[in-house]
Amino acid sequence: MTLEADLLAAYPADIEIPAGLVAASLDAANAEVPRILVVLDDDPTGTQSVADLPVLTRWDVEDFTWAFAHIAQGTAKPAVYVLTNTRSLDPAEAADRNAEVVRNALTAAGSSGSLRLGFVSRSDSTLRGHYPLEPDVIAATVAEVSGEKTDGVVLVPAFPDAGRLTIGGVHYMRGTGEAKGTLVPVSETEFAKDASFGFSTSVMADYVAEKSQGRFPADSVIVLDLNIIRAGSFAQDPAISAKAIADAIEPATDSTPIVADIVTENDFRALALGLEEAERRGKKLLYRVGPPFVRGRIGQEVRTALTSEEAYAGNTPSEAGGLIVVGSHVGVTTRQLNVLTAEHSSARIIEIDVEKLLGAETDAGAHLDGTVDAVVDALRTGDVIVHTSRLLIKTDDPAESLRIARTVSAAVVDVVNRTLKTFPPRFVIAKGGITSSDVAAHGLEIRHGIVRGPMLPGIVSLWEPVDGPAKGIPYIVFAGNVGDDDSLAQVTRKLSNTSPLAP
């Protein structure tokens, strides 16, 4: 562990860069042929750092046509999120889904006239996910369809709002509680021990070598450290940084991995200007990133957290209780659940027993029937907290781990969907990546939505469903691994009309 201030003392201060400067650079680059970023989000939590963007849970050509038209009308920024949920799939399924999304997006762009697409593979800020498989598949599919080869894959896992920083090519997490003020290498956290996506190093170049099984040796990785990102610091001139970044990227060819240091929002904006300059020079880049990258890349201002009134803007909230669904098992989620249940004494707490789900089919069915009946009954008088049993059933087999996760998620989806069609809740919060993805696409049957903004500063996204049975019901996508112990209670407090948490 190390103090953040001590580590940063070796680097220049950041450069004050307004979001408008990045947006103006992007507008100039898009003046003749507009470009839209297509963000393949491996779980829905990637939207928590952006606002007013379309999000899709389906990716047929007509879905992209809807999103591109929405952007062309000027009601959204030039990016669309596609909820692929590939972190819950095995590698072969994830590869097929990435390829299908890219092909359909390119088809839709081709049919709409002069439109360029850039592709972003959004994944976990704690380095879990199908890497390098997903950017490999995206690059191969783009080359197959358009003939365009990828020069570099830019890795930007940093998520400062959630305490994930990359400094000197090393990825860290900020400590919390008694460890506040420290930085913990991410390989020393619980996330590195993930049954499906574990890893052994926080040094990003070594991580690339490990995950690519040596295809990309550590010394082949281009590292854009803070000396490069902040090259214009002394003169407070972003153009100097943009040139330094583009110069450093110049040698990239054949999907060279490029790692970027990020600590502040200004660093994201400096990187965006440098990437724009590199692409102006002709470099073809893909991006493998954490949540805030897209905000910086498109020059979007940091959206303040939505108020209670903004969360329901344009819709009349029902008098029913809200539904809070918790599936994640990481430590911070369990602590947040404990705080919420302690503070929200009037909420009904209902547990989905995972052991029963994995038992006999008849027992599982009966358990779910009883759960739905209990949820519907409780919503008539107040909020309901539905959580999976906290005993995590572990296995050393990654495929079996995914199978268990899918079984549990399918049960959660069934409960949400049957509840929605029986007695719609006032709001829905889903806690956990796989949980929130499946609840969105299948539990609430959201096909098209608009990301309205964060519920807490920089984290926790509110989607407005624009079609399907959940239209008009605020849907909150809450990652399992973000927030303080009180964060889930804070979000519930904003949305609930039930004492004592009512705003």
pLDDT (tens digit per residue) in 251-302:
999 999 999 999 999 999 999 999 999 999 999 999 999 999 999 999 999 9
* pLDDT value at residue 395: 65
* Maximal CA-CA distance, the chain: 70
Give residue-wise pLDDT tens across range 460-502: 999 999 989 999 999 999 988 788 999 999 999 999 987 445 4
Where exactly does CATH 3.40.980.20 map onto the chain? 308-495
Residue 421 pLDDT > 80, yes or no? yes
- pTM as predicted: 0.90
Percentage of residues in the chain having pLDDT higher than 70: 95
* pLDDT value at residue 242: 98
Mean pLDDT of the chain: 92
Q: Tell me, letter by letter, the H, E, C secondary structure of 288-333.
A: EECCCHHHHHCCCCCCCCCCHHHHCCCCCCCCCCCEEEECCCCHHH
- Chain-centroid distance of CA 128 in Å reads 12
Residue 123 contacts residue 40 (beta carbons within 8 Å): no
* pLDDT value at residue 501: 52
Give residue-wise pLDDT tens across range 382-413: 999 998 875 656 666 777 777 777 788 888 89
What separation in angstroms does the CA of 315 have from each of 426, 427, 452, 460? 11, 11, 13, 20
Where exactly does CATH 3.40.50.10840 map onto the chain? 2-297
Residue 87 contacts residue 433 (beta carbons within 8 Å): yes
Q: Band the pLDDT of 184: cuts 50, 70, 90.
A: very high
Give residue-wise pLDDT tens across range 15-59: 999 999 999 998 888 877 889 999 999 988 889 899 999 999 999
308-495 folds as Molybdenum Cofactor Biosythetic Enzyme; Chain A (3.40.980)
Spatial CA neighbour of 384 closest among 331, 340, 445: 340
Beta carbons within 10 angstroms of residue 354's beta carbon = 19
Can you tell me the mean pLDDT for 352-367? 85
Amino acid identity for residue 140 in this structure: A
Residues 6+ positions from 283 with CB-CB distance below 8 Å: 151, 152, 246, 249, 250, 252
In angstroms, the CA 194 to CA 111 distance is 41
In angstroms, the CA 260 to CA 74 distance is 31
Beta carbons within 10 angstroms of residue 342's beta carbon = 9
Can you tell me the mean pLDDT for 171-190? 88
In angstroms, the CA 90 to CA 59 distance is 19
* pLDDT value at residue 39: 98
2-297 folds as Rossmann fold (3.40.50)
* pLDDT value at residue 499: 47
Helix (H, G, I), strand (E, B) or coil at 16: coil
In angstroms, the CA 118 to CA 115 distance is 10
Residue 45 contacts residue 479 (beta carbons within 8 Å): yes
Q: Are strands 448-456 and 53-56 parallel, antiparallel or unpaired?
A: antiparallel
Beta carbons within 10 angstroms of residue 309's beta carbon = 9
* pLDDT value at residue 392: 59
Give residue-wise pLDDT tens across range 332-348: 888 999 999 999 999 99
Residue of 85 and 44 predicted with greater confidence: 85
Residue 15 contacts residue 234 (beta carbons within 8 Å): no
In angstroms, the CA 258 to CA 247 distance is 12
